[in-house]
Amino acid sequence: MIGEKIAGYAVILGMALIVPLGCGGPQRSDDVSGQIREKQAMVERLQAEIRELQRQAAEKPAREGAEGIPVAVQRLEPRPFSHFLQVNGTVEAVRQAFISPELNGQIKRIHVREGDVAHPGDLLVSLNSAVIESSIAEFRTQLELARTIYLKRKGLWEKKIGSEVQYLEARNHKESLENKLETLQAQLDMTRIRAPIQGIVDTIALKEGELAAPGQLLIQLVCLDELSISADVSEAYLSKIRKGDPVAVTFPSFPDFKVDTNVYRTGNIINPQNRTFEVEIRLRNEAQQLKPNILALLRLRDFRDPRALVVPSILVKNDRRGAYLYVIDREGAKPTARKVYVSPGMTQGSETMITDGLSAGQEVIVQGYNLVKNGMPVRVTEPVPLEGES
């Protein structure tokens, strides 16, 4: 404020020194002399006011130094502090099925459409089974004859008529046909592809009339009721992340959706290519709004100290000796600022844990810390305890 007044007076003084010249005709000499004397008096008055303001400006720092720089403080108290790690995860369905036929065949009919809900045992696709059905009919005819011959041979053998070899041959032929018929029946069942799980028909890869082969995707079923999220975490955190640890899950596709859950499983093998291990999360997806393969963000807690000393990170400065901040020293007649070198620990958000250099109960300067120096008197506001948990 004083500096602004001095600058304003300097401008007025410069303007006063400019003697106005006539612009409309000659002026009398006594009028010019009177104007000069008037301007000189104004200059002397302004110079006197400038000298007074300069004196006040020079005395202000000394006066403030005697009264103390006003600062605000916070009293350090031990409180819980946690550090979190954020990694990207991939969402997958816990239960899904990639269905392909067990034998080659032409697709005769597809009984479902994409988007339908299938239950276990529901018929999905029928393959052409005409050849197998014909073989079954043929073997059934042969089996009826073989059973008749077997029963007759058995009756004769029980009466000790005929040879044992004929009896055994008849029995073996009957049983062989029965086994072949069971095999053909199993192959017939393979032509009717059924749902192994309950889920939504997400993909139908082939059409009616096309050939299906084992190992070739025919239908994909997915159940969205329960999802799994997998993330690769650096092996440096192997000893810090355990099963059951809390984890917060968010999704960029759904900014307003957040889930707090726990670690379901941690991997037991380190990937040699990127030196990571797997962390798995399980989620219920009752509304089925989350879909497989969307991106998820996992916020994992890798450190927690229930009694930590925490300060705002902006307070920690550095010089050649290391990190420091200012605290209040009340040992003298008046409170003073004292420079304290500290050892910062982990930083979470806008807060930093101090591992060495501070003790509980100390008052840390949180406002006015850029105005003070070591040993400077300060005027302290009421201490405010640190609250909250990072």
Q: Note whether residue 118 is domain-resident.
A: yes
Q: Note whether residue 295 is domain-resident.
A: yes
CATH of the domain at 293: 2.40.30.170
* pLDDT grade for 34, boundaries at 50, 70 and 90: confident
* pLDDT grade for 125, boundaries at 50, 70 and 90: very high
Whether residue 75 is found in the same domain as residue 59: no
* pLDDT grade for 389, boundaries at 50, 70 and 90: very low
Domain end (from 186, 212, 238):
212
- For residue range 249-305, list pLDDT tens digits in order: 999 999 889 999 999 999 999 999 999 999 999 999 888 889 999 999 999 999 999
Whether residue 150 is found in the same domain as residue 247: no
In this prediction, residues 131-141 reach a mean pLDDT of 87
| Run of H or E residues at 178 | helix 164-190
Whether residue 311 is found in the same domain as residue 362: yes
In this prediction, residues 333-359 reach a mean pLDDT of 92
Asked whether the beta carbons of 300 and 279 are under 8 A apart, the reply is yes
Residue 388 clears pLDDT 60, i.e. is over it: no
Q: How many percent of the chain have pLDDT more than 70?
A: 87
pLDDT for residue 23: 43
Whether residue 280 is found in the same domain as residue 207: no
Asked whether the beta carbons of 339 and 374 are under 8 A apart, the reply is yes
Residue 22 clears pLDDT 60, i.e. is over it: no
Q: Note whether residue 342 is domain-resident.
A: yes
- For residue range 149-196, list pLDDT tens digits in order: 888 888 887 888 878 888 888 889 889 988 998 998 888 888 899 999
Burial class (CB in 10 A: 0-12, 13-18, 19+), 307: exposed
Whether residue 50 is found in the same domain as residue 76: no
In this prediction, residues 48-60 reach a mean pLDDT of 71
Residue 385 clears pLDDT 60, i.e. is over it: no
Whether residue 237 is found in the same domain as residue 204: no
Direct distance between the N- and C-terminal alpha carbons of the chain, in angstroms, rounded to an integer: 41
What pairs with residue 125 in β-bridges? 110, 193
Domain, as residue range, for 350? 69-81+306-385
Q: Which two tokens stand for residue 355?
A: 């591992």
Q: Note whether residue 175 is domain-resident.
A: yes
Q: What does the alpha-carbon distance between residue 223 and residue 227 come to, in Å, rounded to a whole number?
A: 9
Whether residue 130 is found in the same domain as residue 203: yes
pLDDT for residue 1: 52
Asked whether the beta carbons of 299 and 306 are under 8 A apart, the reply is no
Average pLDDT, the chain: 85
pLDDT for residue 246: 92
Q: What are phi and psi of 202, to 5 degrees?
A: -90, -35
In this prediction, residues 224-234 reach a mean pLDDT of 94
Domain end (from 259, 274, 304):
304
Q: How far from 336 is each of 83, 93, 243, 377, 385, CA to CA, in Å?
A: 34, 62, 50, 4, 20
pLDDT for residue 339: 94
If you compute the radius of gyration of the chain from its CA atoms, what whole number of angstroms results? 46
Whether residue 207 is found in the same domain as residue 113: yes
Q: Note whether residue 27 is domain-resident.
A: yes
Going by the DSSP 8-state scheme, the letter that residue 20 receives in this structure is: P
Q: What does the alpha-carbon distance between residue 300 and residue 248 come to, in Å, rounded to a whole number?
A: 7
Of 370 and 16, more confident: 370
* pLDDT grade for 310, boundaries at 50, 70 and 90: very high
- For residue range 313-335, list pLDDT tens digits in order: 999 999 999 999 999 998 878 89
Of 246 and 3, more confident: 246
pLDDT for residue 47: 84
* pLDDT grade for 5, boundaries at 50, 70 and 90: low
* pLDDT grade for 348, boundaries at 50, 70 and 90: very high
**Half-sphere exposure for 265 (CA within 13 Å, toward CB):** 10
Whether residue 122 is found in the same domain as residue 203: yes
Asked whether the beta carbons of 251 and 302 are under 8 A apart, the reply is no
Domain end (from 279, 304, 329):
304
Q: What does the alpha-carbon distance between residue 341 and residue 181 come to, in Å, rounded to a whole number?
A: 89
Whether residue 286 is found in the same domain as residue 337: no
Cα angle for residues 20, 22, 23 (degrees, 5° grid)? 120
Whether residue 63 is found in the same domain as residue 102: no
CATH of the domain at 357: 2.40.420.20
Domain count, the chain: 4
pLDDT for residue 28: 55
pLDDT for residue 58: 60
Q: Note whether residue 390 is domain-resident.
A: no
How would you classify residue 156: left for phi > 0, otherwise alpha for psi between -120 and 50, otherwise beta? alpha
In this prediction, residues 380-384 reach a mean pLDDT of 66
pTM to 2 decimals?
0.62
Whether residue 183 is found in the same domain as residue 116: yes
